[in-house]
A and B are shown apart, each in its own frame.
Chain A
Amino acid sequence: MQLIALGVKTLIGGTLVVALSAIGDCVKPKAFAGLFAAAPSVAVASLAVTVLTSGPSTAAVSSRGMIAGAAGMVAYCIATSALVKRFGAVAGSALAYVFWLVPSLLVCWLFIR
């Protein structure tokens, strides 16, 4: 059962990421398209499957952890918008992962744990 849940989460997560990024490709201007780059695609897939396989209380704990990750995502996007203009998309978005990890861990440790 656990293995099936892992497979379903993986497949739905990948599919939703493609769907939402395709929506982002099909809209203008780019500032609006950017909204879809931070859509809760992986979260919706994972939480829905978690609810069905492990129950709502497990999903509630996961979404509490997600608050920390989402706070990190805000920091990541702010850092990326500056770093991409300076270093380009590949190096800029890779460097910015530090700005996701550190705030996420801090929020998780200080407020949510």
Chain B
Amino acid sequence: MSAQSPIPRLNLDGLNGKRPKDYLVRFAFGASISLIAALISLKFQLFGGMFLAFPAVLPASLTLIERDLGKEEAGIDAEGAIIGAIGLLTFAVVAAFGIKAIGAIPALVVAAAAWLVVSLGIYTLVMTWRAATTKRPRKAAPG
């Protein structure tokens, strides 16, 4: 991943250069996937459920990042998405088993919290491990 500080921080400059069209494309993508998942679920619930985890945001984000910051940064964003996807898998498992156990709405809330906790937890672990294993340049000996 990148050499810059791994500590998350706000960067409102990231919105600069984004056009309304960029967000419209993302809206269209997200809305289309939701509609496709819903239409398939009318006949095949299990198969339709698969599309609830269809990669909708990532491709749209990557094209914009590549346009604004280059191919390398787009690759780094995709690496971060691997961690988010493991969180997404946790969301699905918690929702699938939790809906019957604790009720639908509490299960969805717990599942969303599980996505956040798992994603942030793995991100922290990966970044700590990388910081510990990255070789720092040695200071020159005095004299």
Contact = CB atoms under 8 A, between A and B. Distances in A.
B105 interface: yes
Contacts of A2: 42
A26 B80 contact: no
Contacts of A21: 23, 26, 57, 60-61
Interface in B52-70: 52-63, 65-67, 69
B30 A16 contact: yes
Q: What size tier do the contact residues of chain A reach?
A: 35 or more
Contacts of A64: 46, 49, 96
Given A29-B2, A59-B99, A40 B63 contact: no
18 contacts: A2-B42, A9-B34, A18-B30, A21-B26, A24-B57, A33-B14, A37-B58, A38-B81, A42-B54, A46-B41, A57-B100, A65-B48, A74-B82, A81-B75, A89-B59, A89-B65, A94-B59, A105-B50
Interface of B: 1-2, 4-6, 8-12, 14-15, 18, 23, 26-35, 37-39, 41-42, 45-63, 65-67, 69, 71-89, 91-93, 95-96, 99-100, 103-105, 108, 111-112, 115, 119-120, 123, 127
